[in-house]
Structure 1
């Protein structure tokens, strides 16, 4: 009994949450596979797939496309994204940020899972990303990608981890643009070819802006709770109205890419179909008053990002 009381007074928010949950139910929390799947945040995976799809299309355009290297690049991106999600769950949970959030319970912050298990899971997925990346480097002979991989994993961890996470300082959008836009897209191309193309950079910008849009709308929803938790995201810093304007810019500017390359690549007409998803999102963001509406925009924007990356890759390839 005294041990349970001590745990409820713990300075670790995750330990305290677990003790309080056990006190309420009279039994340790029961963990199911659905809890772990929820922790992986699968709805974010389109942001990992989109840049690889766009980059693969450009590699096909210059006649250096490789299925093995493309699939390995996809594995790196997906494993890294899942690792980031579990790492965020762990870091936010032990820091106490998730005490203020609304929405589905997090593994660590809710006390459902021992924080160390969540940390180990994050490290396993980082390890899988590193292994896939190492195989890709061996096959391609581009050894400098090893340094890029190390930087990517460090960036993934310090998003919410460490003493001064950059995600708490309003720099999350910048890093998302760099790694889920430029690095992932251009990296997929460079992994397969030595030909330097401007298309890779333009595609990286377009895909990266969609990734930023997803983070922005997520942070708009969380402005009140992030303020309580002391999490100074970009949206907390610039406010609700400016964040909505930023979101709109991020989902509209990517269409400059199909406009620019449309004459040389008639398939770019397909990319404009993504506007069928984007237009409703813009309208909802302008008028939204509840978190539920913003969650819908979050889901639709992730879908739009995936469609944009895939269709852009197809347009460049064929």
Structure 2
């Protein structure tokens, strides 16, 4: 009897085991030991497909503008320009994943989880992936240089890769100091569009410049939507993006200006290239994005705004390509 009493007493005094918690439907809230293996889909997600229209759009616009001066379609060079733009975009996305992950700035992300920050992929592997895409861009870019004999473009390509790395890499990344929009406008707007036009036509028209500015503004708008989503987390970790510096309301105003100005330019271009009016259909994506940016309640909603702005950019660029390629229609 004494043994039974002691056993019962020990059971009563022993700490009770916590009840098994139900598995969360949100992967970010699951315990580390329940993390699923990394899949091909995770790697594709890390490449950030929503941003790829920003790489395709300037090539479409630049190729259309090139056909104004040279009606011949240099499809090999155009495809090479597309490959360079896409490889650079993916390379930037992976190196950004790496840099933000090792700094800890992606630890409390609102958007999709990143490979490095999640700890599911070694940081060096993510970095290597980004560098491989930079190398692919360099190889294809060198092919363009050899074909066009524009050897000075090697320096431009080198600057593009260096700028892509220091966007979030290095000791003092300029993307952390309110200069990200400058990088995006210059390289994913002006350089990508005008470079595409130049290697095909060896000339830069007013239409090419207008299209390049429009592509740059759209790219900046996408970045603003992204940074508006992460404003609280960026502020907490000391990431001083333009959005953090100017605040939510000013960011909404600047975003609005950036997505409206390209359509003002479109109306002017449509007076000379009537097919350009079709580009107004891009508003079907851009206007809902604009409403989300102004009326969102949860930061996660801005992921949709980002995707819609990217799709609107692609539709806009497709319309300009068609318009410039058929100026007499």
Return the alpha-carbon distance in structure 1 between the equivalents of residues 168 and 269 of structure 2: 37
Return the alpha-carbon distance in structure 2 between the equivalents of residues 251 and 203 of structure 1: 13
Q: Which residue of 2 aligns with 1:200?
A: 208
3-state SS, counterpart of residue 191 of structure 1 = helix
Q: Which residue of 2 aligns with 1:9?
A: none
**Structure 1 residue 33 displacement after superposition:** 1.1
3-state SS, counterpart of residue 200 of structure 2 = coil
Q: How many residues were matched structurally?
A: 297
**Structure 1 residue 34 displacement after superposition:** 1.6
For the pair 1:173 / 2:181, whether they are aligned, the reply is yes
Q: Which residue of 1 aligns with 2:149?
A: 141
Q: Which residue of 2 aligns with 1:130?
A: 138
Aligned mate of 1:44, from 29, 48, 51: 51
Return the alpha-carbon distance in structure 1 between the equivalents of residues 111 and 225 of structure 2: 14
3-state SS, counterpart of residue 283 of structure 2 = helix
**Structure 1 residue 29 displacement after superposition:** 6.4
Aligned mate of 1:108, from 100, 113, 116: 116
- The runs of at least 4 consecutive aligned structure 1 residues that moved more than 4 Å come to none
Q: Which residue of 1 aligns with 2:42?
A: 35
For the pair 1:99 / 2:93, whether they are aligned, the reply is no
Q: Which residue of 1 aligns with 2:284?
A: 276
For the pair 1:187 / 2:195, whether they are aligned, the reply is yes
Q: Which residue of 1 aligns with 2:305?
A: 297
Residue 159 of structure 1 contacts residue 172 of structure 1 at CA under 8 Å; is this kept in 2?
yes
Residue 77 of structure 2 contacts residue 199 of structure 2 at CA under 8 Å; is this kept in 1?
yes
CA RMSD of aligned residues (A): 1.7
For the pair 1:237 / 2:245, whether they are aligned, the reply is yes
Residue 110 of structure 2 contacts residue 229 of structure 2 at CA under 8 Å; is this kept in 1?
no
Q: Which has the larger radius of gyration?
A: 2
Return the alpha-carbon distance in structure 2 between the equivalents of residues 298 and 189 of structure 1: 27
Q: 1:117 to 1:310 in 2, by over 3 A?
A: same
Aligned mate of 1:120, from 128, 132, 138: 128
3-state SS, counterpart of residue 117 of structure 2 = coil
Q: 1:82 to 1:24 in 2, by over 3 A?
A: closer
Structure 2 gap segments, 5+ residues each? 1-28
Aligned mate of 2:64, from 32, 57, 78: 57
Return the alpha-carbon distance in structure 2 between the equivalents of residues 268 and 246 of structure 1: 25
Residue 181 of structure 1 contacts residue 208 of structure 1 at CA under 8 Å; is this kept in 2?
yes
Structure 1 gap segments, 5+ residues each? 1-20
Aligned mate of 1:316, from 305, 313, 324: 324
Return the alpha-carbon distance in structure 1 between the equivalents of residues 190 and 136 of structure 2: 22
